[in-house]
Amino acid sequence: MAGRTRKGEQTRRLILETALELFRERGYDETTMRLIAERADVALGNAYYYFRSKEHLVQAFYARVNEEQRTVSAPELARKTDLQARLSVVVRAVIEIMAPYHRFAGSLFRSAADPRSPLSPFGPESAESRRRGIALFVDVLDGSTTRVPDDLRAELPGLLWLYQMGVILFWIHDNSPGHRRTDRLIDLTTEIVAHVISLASIPILRPLRRRTLQLLAELRGDEP
């Protein structure tokens, strides 16, 4: 594997930092591999030695966002027990971290939806980063005072992670100053989501809940 020696690690890091810098400055398409290599003062082929493709640079970006999201949210999560508040903290964090990459993130989501792309958040190459993303929502739930029915508890983190993906998709299309519209979306939707979760226990909705859970259970299992 690439980047095993001290020197290799340094070169790898240099290339990644340069790439992220350029992504922020110019977006995805305008950032050519040639430009990354040039600014990092390495040969084009060398960039490809460390990152098999331009898309693999993006995987590295995902991993970093993930990591920072957890770090940034931790102190606030330690202080809050209200489900809406906790949800809001982590979702706001991910948007805040990605903020400098707004333009970049747009082109990014391209590959995200392609199942054969190594960048698809649903694909096998992203399993690890997805697992970590979902794990954060396990913490969000575990630390909250809201009562969640046991059957739902198992599925909820994955659903909340999907919800977060939805927010990110919205943010990508949001050009309001300081992503105000996305902030507002988070305000309103975390409230709705928390409300729905608390309603999930009431009797009239039991059939709906059972049906929904059955659906989720069925869809698990023979995923490619």
Partner DNA sequence: GTCTATAACCGGATAGAC
Partner DNA sequence: GTCTATCCGGTTATAGAC
Residues that bind its own copies (CB under 8 A): 106-107, 109-117, 120, 122, 169, 172-176, 181, 184-185, 188-189, 191-192, 195-196, 199, 202, 204-205, 207-208, 211-212, 214-215, 218-219, 222-224
Instruction: Give the one residue of 13, 17, 25, 32 binding DNA; rule: CB under 7 A.
Output: 32
Asked if 44 is part of the footprint of DNA (rule: CB under 7 A), the reply reads yes
Which C-beta is closer to its own copies: that of 101 or that of 122?
122
Which C-beta is closer to DNA: that of 9 or that of 142?
9
Quote the CA–CA distance of 66 and 60 in Å, as a whole number: 10
Query: Which region, judged by CB under 7 A, interacts with DNA, from 31-39, 70-78, 83-91, 154-162?
Result: 31-39
Residues 6 or more apart in contact with residue 222 via CB below 8 angstroms: none
| C-alpha dihedral sign at 85, 86, 92, 96 | positive
> Reduced to 3 DSSP states, what percent helix, strand and coil does the chain have, rounded to the nearest 5?
80, 0, 20
Contact 105, 168 (CB under 8 A): yes
Residue type, 174: D
Cβ atoms < 10 Å from Cβ of 95: 22
Residue 78 contact partner, candidates its own copies, DNA, none, CB within 5 to 8 A by sort of partner: none
Contact 15, 50 (CB under 8 A): yes
Burial zone of 220 (CB within 10 Å; 0-12 exposed, 13-18 middle, 19+ buried)? exposed
Residue type, 69: Q
Asked if 196 is part of the footprint of DNA (rule: CB under 7 A), the reply reads no
Rg (CA), the chain: 20
Asked if 46 is part of the footprint of DNA (rule: CB under 7 A), the reply reads yes
- Report, in Å, the least distance between residue 1 CB and DNA: 7
Which C-beta is closer to DNA: that of 83 or that of 112?
112
Query: Tokens 């909820």 identify what position?
Result: 156
Residue 45 contact partner, candidates its own copies, DNA, none, CB within 5 to 8 A by sort of partner: DNA
- Report, in Å, the least distance between residue 175 CB and its own copies: 4
- Report, in Å, the least distance between residue 22 CB and DNA: 10
List interacting residues with DNA (CB under 7 A).
1-5, 7-12, 29, 31-34, 41-46, 48-50, 52-55
